[in-house]
């Protein structure tokens, strides 16, 4: 009986902490995998794994970072499995990009949003992931470095290159010329 009550308390606490983070978790998984179905699998596996090790989470405030870390690992694991199943990831990604970009937005910027999503889909994962963590999840570059097991300098370089590539894909030019000029600001 007591065990049942404890179990319910645990479930309620898990739900209270993790449910509000589900949207963040899904979006992170989606931009990592570029596939809605893979993202849903990642969320499922992440929550299952989180539930199993929930007692190890001491600080509820750290739950978001904890879940995203698990999701990153689960994505790598699922991606590996997909590869073994000989799914053509490129075809999957292409179709998902079109489906996602074609999603109607009640927004005057719908075209620009579609273009941006396509451009994001085309970024390499090494550039896309830190960008998503920074822009969508609000991570600092230090937190991104910890999450991706990189030096902070490497993160800054990737973020700069990511934005540069996005600008190029969106036809906004790049900063190569300015960066190579090395002129003092006036």
Partner 1 sequence: MSKAMQHSEFRQLAGADPEHLAAAAQEHAGQCAECAGYLSQMRQLDGLMKRAMEVPAPVSGNVTPIRTVVLKDRAPARVFALAASMLLAVLLGAGIWIASSRDTLAADVIVHVQEEPDAMVATDNRVTPAELDDVLRRAGVRLKSGTQTVSIARTCEFRNTTIPHLVVQTREGPITVLVLANEPVKSARSFDEQGYAGTILPSGRGAIAIIANTRTALDEAAAQVAASVEWIN
What distance in Å separates the CA atoms of residue 135 and residue 131, rounded to the nearest whole number? 6
97-136: contacts with partner 1 (CB under 8 A):
100, 103, 107, 109, 112-113, 116-117, 120, 131-132, 134-136
What distance in Å separates the CA atoms of residue 110 and residue 27, rounded to the nearest whole number? 19
Report in angstroms how near the CB of residue 89 gets to partner 1 at its nearest.
15
Is 71 a binder of partner 1 (CB under 8 A)? no
34-53: contacts with partner 1 (CB under 8 A):
36, 40, 43-44, 47-48, 51
Total residues contacting partner 1 by CB under 8 A comes to 75
What distance in Å separates the CA atoms of residue 177 and residue 186, rounded to the nearest whole number? 17
Cβ distance to partner 1 smaller for residue 63 or 100 = 100
Report in angstroms how near the CB of residue 179 gets to partner 1 at its nearest.
4
Nearest 10 degrees: Cα torsion 159, 160, 164, 167: 60
Is 13 a binder of partner 1 (CB under 8 A)? no
What distance in Å separates the CA atoms of residue 19 and residue 141, rounded to the nearest whole number? 26
Report in angstroms how near the CB of residue 91 gets to partner 1 at its nearest.
20
Cβ distance to partner 1 smaller for residue 63 or 132 = 132
Which of 64, 58, 52 has its CA nearest to residue 19? 64
Report in angstroms how near the CB of residue 90 gets to partner 1 at its nearest.
20
């Amino acid at each position: 009986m007591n065990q049942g009550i404890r179990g319910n308390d645990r479930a309620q606490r898990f739900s209270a902490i993790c449910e509000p983070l589900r949207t963040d978790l899904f979006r992170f998984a989606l931009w990592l995998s570029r596939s809605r179905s893979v993202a849903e699998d990642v969320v499922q596996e992440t929550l299952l794994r989180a539930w199993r090790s929930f007692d190890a989470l001491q600080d509820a405030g750290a739950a978001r970072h904890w879940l995203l870390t698990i999701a990153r690992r689960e994505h790598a694991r699922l991606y590996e499995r997909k590869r073994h199943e000989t799914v053509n990831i490129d075809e999957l990604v292409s179709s998902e990009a079109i489906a996602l970009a074609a999603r109607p937005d009640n927004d005057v910027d719908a075209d620009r949003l579609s273009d941006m999503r396509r451009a994001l889909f085309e970024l390499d994962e090494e550039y896309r992931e830190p960008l998503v963590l920074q822009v969508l999840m609000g991570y600092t570059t230090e937190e991104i470095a910890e999450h991706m097991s990189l030096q902070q300098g490497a993160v800054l370089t990737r973020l700069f290159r990511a934005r540069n590539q996005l600008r190029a894909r969106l036809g906004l030019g790049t900063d190569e010329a300015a960066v190579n000029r090395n002129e003092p600001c006036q």
